[in-house]
């Protein structure tokens, strides 16, 4: 096999991927994974030769990505909030938008609860567990519960909690159904929100390899927001915070669902770093009324 230096293999793969409508950056991720180098060492050693085994593994990984296999599935993990999480075909691959959801949630909870301990936090539709695990590790005194309808997803979430040493209670069931009378101060969810009508316009990297149950939802992607907004008044404490990740263009509609459920509280739509409405928060004020009980 012809010997190649790392930069030569990287240049070949980047061009090859772009020629097949894939992101060139995937070449760097795959080569770093195969060589086991962090980003700093990777660029320091670009003129080093790859071993035959490394080059063969790299070429195979690039070909598989061209065929549609996500880079994260080839590596077996994704980085999220500075930590590594296992991913597979049973869970949604974490996206940067969800990191923003968590960041803005902490910004609000730090203000709402100041330094109060024993916050009860809930992550509904946990998938790989990134939201629940991140909440627990960033705020160790919080008690975190995470739910999912999929036993396979929960299996992956539990593995991620264990590998990151996060003590979380996991419950299997549909949305808020498995909570059995528990009450929470913080609620966060990134539910399926893509309309089924969008499938035909999406990349096969997503539609062929990520679970449709974690991607798509009825009522133009809004059914789970409606159901949870109806269920949330029964499980939220005051003061409290509700946060949803939403699809671009859904912000005002989801905000209206929360305003209907919590008419006397403060609801806001937040735009992500790309200028898209991606988060909706509802701050529950420290009061009670017949409407909210």
Owner of token pair 């005194």: 141
Predicted pLDDT at 209: 67
- pLDDT at residue 180, as a whole number: 84
Evaluate the CA torsion angle 256, 262, 265, 266 in order and state its sign. Answer: negative
Residue spans per domain, the chain: 6-67, 79-284
pLDDT for 290 equals 41
**40-52 residue pLDDT tens:** 999 999 999 999 9
Residue listed under structure tokens 């969810």: 189
Q: Output the CA torsion sign for 181, 173, 85, 268.
A: negative
* Domain range 79-284, CATH class: alpha beta
> 191 a known binding residue?
yes
Distance between CA atoms of 119 and 117, rounded to whole angstroms? Answer: 6
pLDDT tens, position by position, 93-120: 898 999 999 999 999 999 999 878 889 9
Residues of the chain with pLDDT below 70 are 1, 193, 196, 209-210, 213-217, 287-293
> Can you give the pLDDT at residue 2?
77
* Residue 181 assigned ligand-binding role: no
Give the 3-state secondary structure of residue 68: coil
Q: Is 253 annotated as a binding residue?
A: no
Determine whether the annotation assigns residue 110 to a binding site. Answer: no
The pTM score is: 0.89
Q: Partners of 242 in the beta sheet?
A: 187, 282
What share of residues in the chain are helix, strand, coil (percent, to 5)?
Answer: 45, 20, 35
96 carries a ligand binding annotation: no
Other CB atoms within 10 Å distance of the CB of residue 29 = 19
pLDDT at 287: 67
148 is an annotated ligand-binding site residue: yes
pLDDT at site 3 = 86
Q: What is the pLDDT of residue 144?
A: 98
Q: Is 125 annotated as a binding residue?
A: yes
């Amino acid at each position: 096999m012809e010997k190649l230096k790392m930069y030569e293999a990287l240049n070949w793969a980047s061009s090859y991927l772009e020629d097949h409508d894939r992101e060139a950056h995937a070449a760097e991720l795959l080569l770093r994974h195969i060589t086991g180098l962090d980003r700093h060492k990777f660029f320091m050693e670009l003129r080093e030769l790859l071993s035959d085994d490394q080059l063969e593994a790299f070429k195979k990984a690039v070909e598989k990505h061209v065929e549609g296999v996500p880079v994260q599935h080839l590596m077996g993990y994704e980085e999220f909030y500075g930590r590594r999480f296992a991913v597979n075909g049973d869970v949604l691959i974490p996206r940067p938008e969800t990191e923003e959801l968590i960041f803005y949630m902490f910004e609000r909870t730090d203000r709402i609860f100041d330094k109060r301990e024993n916050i009860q936090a809930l992550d509904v539709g946990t998938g790989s567990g990134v939201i629940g695990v991140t909440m627990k590790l960033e705020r160790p005194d919080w008690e975190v519960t995470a739910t999912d309808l999929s036993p396979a997803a929960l299996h992956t979430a539990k593995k991620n909690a264990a590998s990151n040493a996060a003590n979380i209670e996991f419950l299997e069931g549909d949305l808020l159904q498995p909570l059995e009378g528990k009450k929470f101060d913080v609620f966060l969810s990134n539910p399926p929100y893509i309309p089924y009508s969008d499938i035909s316009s999406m990349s096969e990297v997503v539609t062929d390899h990520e679970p449709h149950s974690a991607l798509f939802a009825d009522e133009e992607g809004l059914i789970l927001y409606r159901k949870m907004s109806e269920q949330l008044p029964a499980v939220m404490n005051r003061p409290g915070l509700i946060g949803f990740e939403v699809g671009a263009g859904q912000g005002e509609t989801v905000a209206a669902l929360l305003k209907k459920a919590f008419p006397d509280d403060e609801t806001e739509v937040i735009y992500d770093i790309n200028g898209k409405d991606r988060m909706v928060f509802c701050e529950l004020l420290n009061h009670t009324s017949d409407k909210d009980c």
